[in-house]
Amino acid sequence: MPLKIGILSQAYHPAVGGVTEHVDATASALRERGHDVAIITARFADREYPAHEQNGANGHERRVYRIGWNVAVPYNGAENNVTFGFGLREKLEEILAEERFDLLHVHCPVSPVLPLLALRIAKQPIVGTFHSTVTSDLAFRLFRRALLPSYRRIDRTLAVSEAARSCVLRHFPGPVDILPNGVNLERFRPGLRRLERFDDGTPNILFVGRHDPRKGLPELMAACSALARDSVPFRLIIVGDGSLRRRIEGMAHGALEGRVHFEGCVSNERLPRYYASSDVFCSPARGGESFGIVLLEAMASGVPIVATDLPGYRTVLTPGSQGLVVPPRDPGALRLALETLLSRPDLGREMGARGVETSRRYAWPLIADRLEEIYGSLVGLGRAAARIQDLGGKPALLESART
């Protein structure tokens, strides 16, 4: 049964990150199955948007509503997307009234401002997905009582990993189901052609991610500097951008001179070839990672991994199987793990092959299957409630299901 689905997320293109990729991939997978999907998000200053974005119910199938303006707010060791602007409530009410979605899927649902607004004004069933784990519970302890009524408005609560689920359950009641992130196995796969300028026989270490404090780039630079001083052959390729960009570039001198390539943000079309060009993928995050989509992308590409030992990363990465893990904030251990895989390509190939097998469990069609089941369990109730409202009654069915 085709559904009309609204997906609301403050993180969406041109913002980079795991939530953006999750939203974009699920929307594409659902559209391919015949569902009518629209995305509600913010505008980004001084950015151009893809030509396929058209607002309004009569636009292109990949329509995106943009209201308010995105502001990057530092929190939990990263820059978080928050939407501000005049008349947000009225504009969101207009969209929901025009579209009459069968259900609304809200990402990071208790985050200010747009997700909380949606929880307060939407009449249709709501699915909420939590993506984060936090390094400090202070904000939730301070605002839990104020957030609880909005949280209770969610009809089906999801988390992308056990780490994210545990974070939710420390502050809010259950149940919370796990529906993980996925990976596009058509885009990320072994055997893609390497980028010519990185295909000269020098082993390549790849980092993909925002240049945020929690991503651990200073530790990676320190580890690679030690490798360079020991004359280990390698090249470090850094994909992404962020607040630490200038600081990280300042560390690429001395022993690292000429070994580090800053690629900035690359297109979705070109990103798979960066993985194909790498011999080791490294994700040295300090904490606050609930899953690790980049780990899945590396696995699907057949690339062995060196990562920090975080609960969110263990969702997909088994130490010693698809890669090696090290303690966070430990450049010495990071250096040793990188050297191990650089010096043992046979071990890297074995880990890469196991990674490919692991990634198949996270193919987006499998995730979409689960989503359709979840949506289907709610949408009949929502349509019945809408019919009652149209007749001037109260949506008692829907209210009784939420209490």
My answer on whether 264 and 390 are in the same domain is no
* CA gap 303, 190 in Å, rounded: 8
Whether 136 and 214 map to the same domain: the answer is no
37 bridge partner residues? 5
Helix (H) or strand (E) holding 148, with range, is helix 138-151
Residue 62 sits in a domain whose CATH number is 3.40.50.2000
| Residues 275 and 376 reside in one and the same domain | no
- Work out how many domains the chain is built from and give that number: 2
Domain that holds residue 354: 196-361
Q: What is the pLDDT along the chain (403 residues), one digit of tens a residue?
A: 899 999 999 999 988 888 999 999 999 999 999 999 999 999 987 655 555 565 433 334 578 999 999 998 877 666 788 999 999 999 999 999 999 999 999 999 999 999 999 999 999 999 999 998 876 677 778 888 999 999 999 999 999 999 999 999 999 999 999 999 999 999 999 999 999 999 999 999 999 999 989 999 999 999 999 999 999 999 999 999 988 999 999 999 999 999 999 999 999 899 999 999 999 999 999 998 999 999 999 999 999 999 999 999 999 999 999 999 999 999 999 999 999 999 999 999 999 999 999 999 999 999 999 999 999 999 975 554 554 455 555 443 333 333 3
Q: Which residue type is seen at 185? A: L
Judgement on whether residues 222 and 131 belong to the same structural domain of the protein: no
Outline where DSSP puts E strands in 131-172: 156-159
Considering the domain architecture, whether residues 15 and 142 belong to the same structural domain is answered as yes
Do 293 and 217 reside in the same domain of the chain?
A: yes
Say which residues have a Cβ less than 8 Å from residue 183's Cβ, sequence separation at least 6: 293, 296, 297, 299, 300, 359, 362, 363, 364
